[in-house]
């Protein structure tokens, strides 16, 4: 595949992802499923080029930024507080799922070796919490459930991919030595964690000495690749090294990044996640025809049976683990400093168990399977493993994804109103703190300027406090807040129009224009984030002004 063709393919895939995301939003249709279906449709178009993706490009090009992005955005204190349930799901459940699926596939699918079955199990074991967390946040289910889902997805990606690498090595070598694999597993995992900690420490030192958002974003984008490649050269776990490095940076993120750098970095990482996730789902659909054509020797009925068996095992093991096994794990870990699993309500455990959707990491791992073994023969059952992986992803996205809102409605314990009230109380407390500090300094006469010259600072804080704390009826408070924010957003649009008018008339330099525009953008972002219910805020528009007035 030439460089020009690769670039053209990437541009085409990214454009298709953007267009299909808009279509999915308009249709209220699950985005990943639409991408796979659209990719399958493209694969059926006459003269559409047959794509053969290099497995190394998928594994190296896609997984490091996805894992690092999830790790660096993970709140460290929440991860630490819920380490026990996260570990039970991300380590114990992943290994059990990989083993059960592997042995079941080896026993049921004719000709599939145990090593190939374990590779399939390791591929479908990790969950993808993107869809689950998005639904969880929209439904306002308990924060701890969302944290556990995010933490599980992060760590089980690492544990599942480590197990996947060993299973693939066993398939390529043609033998399965449990003792050798166990020793190598310990060395790779321990070395990967150590390298990740070292990279995280060095990265924190570098970020502290930087004050350039563009340079910080560049380092953030290249760091996962450098970490992954360095671990591979040292024959360590690159996956764990990337995850641990991201978590190390997340732990000190408040001290390391400025506000501007943090917002810009998160926006860039979110864009990278969005494009890579969408491109992989599209690629699965595009290659679906070639995958199916490689499934020789089985009837459609047998293939559907294999897919149903794999999906049922994955789903059943998680449901069994989510409550009875979780209670046992919680009982055994009550005296360990890992958090307390028994404190998790049984309804929350049901939500965690149901939110077991598989996604892009499983698809990427399946596409990254080697094409041949060390003898030069084709990788055994590669097309079947990819087909079964895609089946599990689609089944869990459709069944779990579409029914999760119903399960959340039945088992959810925290309504939106309670969450809104908590946020409002927090905002009030946050604003009272600087006002009290201002008054203290004024009383001690330790203000840097004359009090009358800086009183506007206190008035601004007090105005924001009155805006949030005004009124008596909670429902009316929300209506007033939303209407005020809507009015403020309209005034910001007027402010932006005036800024552009001055710039077009050469009354403002480029640097000044950029700085002021960013200030308005930050104000708009802050205002939009405070709108509780967008339907409650009327969308009144100002009368359009004449061009001569602009």
How do residues 419-430 score in pLDDT, each as one tens digit? 566 666 777 788
3-state SS assignment for residue 187:
helix
Looking at the structure, tell me whether residues 402 and 549 fall in a common domain: no
Per the structure, how many domains does the chain have?
3
Looking at the structure, tell me whether residues 384 and 431 fall in a common domain: no
Looking at the structure, tell me whether residues 372 and 478 fall in a common domain: no
Looking at the structure, tell me whether residues 158 and 265 fall in a common domain: yes
* Residue 295 tokens, joined: 């499934």
Looking at the structure, tell me whether residues 401 and 527 fall in a common domain: no
How do residues 164-205 score in pLDDT, each as one tens digit? 888 888 888 766 566 666 777 788 888 999 999 999 999 998
Looking at the structure, tell me whether residues 507 and 392 fall in a common domain: no
Tell me, what CATH number does 194's domain have?
A: 1.20.1530.20
How do residues 433-454 score in pLDDT, each as one tens digit? 888 888 887 777 766 667 677 7
Looking at the structure, tell me whether residues 82 and 59 fall in a common domain: yes
How far lies 263's CA from each of 181, 213, 217, 430, 480, in Å? Answer: 42, 9, 10, 20, 28
- Of 396, 414, 432, which residue constitutes the final position of a domain? 414
Looking at the structure, tell me whether residues 444 and 525 fall in a common domain: no
Tell which phi-psi region holds residue 88, choosing left (phi > 0), alpha (psi between -120 and 50) or beta: alpha
Q: How far is Cα 218 from Cα 110, in angstroms, rounded to an integer? A: 49
CA dihedral over 499, 503, 506, 508, signed as positive or negative: positive
Looking at the structure, tell me whether residues 361 and 330 fall in a common domain: yes
Looking at the structure, tell me whether residues 373 and 482 fall in a common domain: no
Predicted TM-score of the model (pTM): 0.73
How do residues 111-170 score in pLDDT, each as one tens digit? 898 888 999 999 999 887 666 666 666 666 777 788 888 888 888 878 888 888 888 888
The confidence score (pLDDT) of residue 279 equals: 82
Residues in the chain: 550
DSSP letters along 516-540, please? HHHHHHHHHHHHHHH-S-GGGS---
The confidence score (pLDDT) of residue 7 equals: 77
Name the β-bridge partners of 378. Answer: 372
Looking at the structure, tell me whether residues 453 and 393 fall in a common domain: no
Looking at the structure, tell me whether residues 374 and 285 fall in a common domain: yes
For 435, the domain range is 418-470
């Amino acid at each position: 595949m030439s460089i020009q063709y690769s670039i053209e393919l990437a541009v085409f895939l990214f454009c298709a992802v953007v267009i299909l995301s808009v279509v999915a939003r308009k249709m209220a249709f699950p985005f990943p499923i639409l991408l796979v279906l659209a990719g399958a449709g493209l694969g059926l178009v006459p003269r559409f080029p047959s794509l053969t993706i290099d497995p190394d490009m998928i594994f190296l090009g896609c997984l490091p930024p996805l894992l690092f992005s999830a790790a660096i955005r993970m709140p460290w204190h929440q991860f630490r507080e819920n380490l026990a349930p996260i570990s039970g799901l991300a380590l114990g459940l992943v290994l059990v799922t990989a083993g059960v699926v592997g042995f079941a596939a080896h026993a049921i699918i004719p000709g599939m070796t145990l090593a190939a079955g374990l590779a399939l199990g390791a591929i479908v074991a990790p969950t993808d919490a993107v869809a689950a967390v998005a639904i969880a946040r929209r439904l306002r289910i308990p924060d701890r459930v969302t944290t556990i889902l995010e933490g599980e997805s992060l760590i089980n990606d690492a544990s599942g991919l480590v197990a996947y690498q060993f299973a693939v090595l066993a398939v390529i070598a043609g033998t399965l030595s449990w003792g050798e694999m166990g020793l190598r597993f310990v060395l790779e995992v321990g070395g990967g964690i150590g390298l990740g900690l070292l990279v995280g420490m060095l990265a924190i030192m570098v970020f502290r000495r930087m004050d350039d958002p563009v340079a910080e974003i560049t380092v953030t984008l290249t760091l996962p690749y450098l970490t992954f490649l360095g671990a591979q050269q040292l024959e360590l776990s690159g996956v764990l090294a990337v995850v641990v490095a991201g978590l190390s940076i997340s732990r000190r993120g408040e001290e390391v990044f400025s506000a501007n750098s943090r917002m810009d970095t998160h926006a860039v990482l979110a864009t990278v996640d969005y494009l890579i996730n969408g491109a992989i789902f599209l690629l699965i659909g595009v290659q679906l025809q070639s995958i199916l054509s490689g499934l020789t020797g089985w009837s459609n009925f047998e293939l559907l049976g294999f897919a149903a068996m794999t999906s049922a095992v994955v789903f059943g093991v998680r449901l069994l683990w989510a409550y009875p096994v979780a209670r046992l794990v919680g009982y055994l870990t009550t005296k360990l400093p890992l958090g307390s699993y028994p404190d998790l309500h049984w309804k929350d455990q049901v939500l965690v168990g149901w939110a077991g959707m598989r996604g892009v990491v499983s698809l990427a791992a399946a596409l990254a399977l080697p094409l041949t073994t060390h003898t030069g023969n084709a990788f055994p059952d590669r097309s079947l493993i990819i087909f079964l992986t895609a089946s599990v992803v689609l089944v869990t996205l459709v069944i779990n994804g579409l029914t999760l809102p119903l399960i959340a409605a039945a088992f959810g314990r925290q309504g939106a109103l309670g969450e809104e009230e908590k946020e409002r109380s927090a905002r009030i407390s946050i604003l009272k703190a600087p006002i009290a500090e201002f008054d203290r300094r004024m009383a001690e006469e330790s203000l840097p300027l004359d009090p009358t010259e800086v009183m506007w600072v206190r008035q601004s804080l007090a105005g924001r406090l009155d805006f949030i704390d005004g009124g008596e009826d909670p429902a009316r408070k929300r209506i007033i807040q939303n209407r005020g924010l809507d009015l403020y957003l309209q005034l910001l649009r007027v402010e932006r129009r005036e800024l552009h008018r001055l710039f077009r008339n050469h009354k403002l330099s480029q640097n000044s224009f950029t700085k002021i525009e960013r200030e308005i953008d930050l104000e708009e972002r802050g205002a939009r984030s405070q709108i509780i219910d967008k339907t409650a805020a009327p969308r009144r528009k100002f009368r359009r002004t004449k061009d001569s007035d602009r």
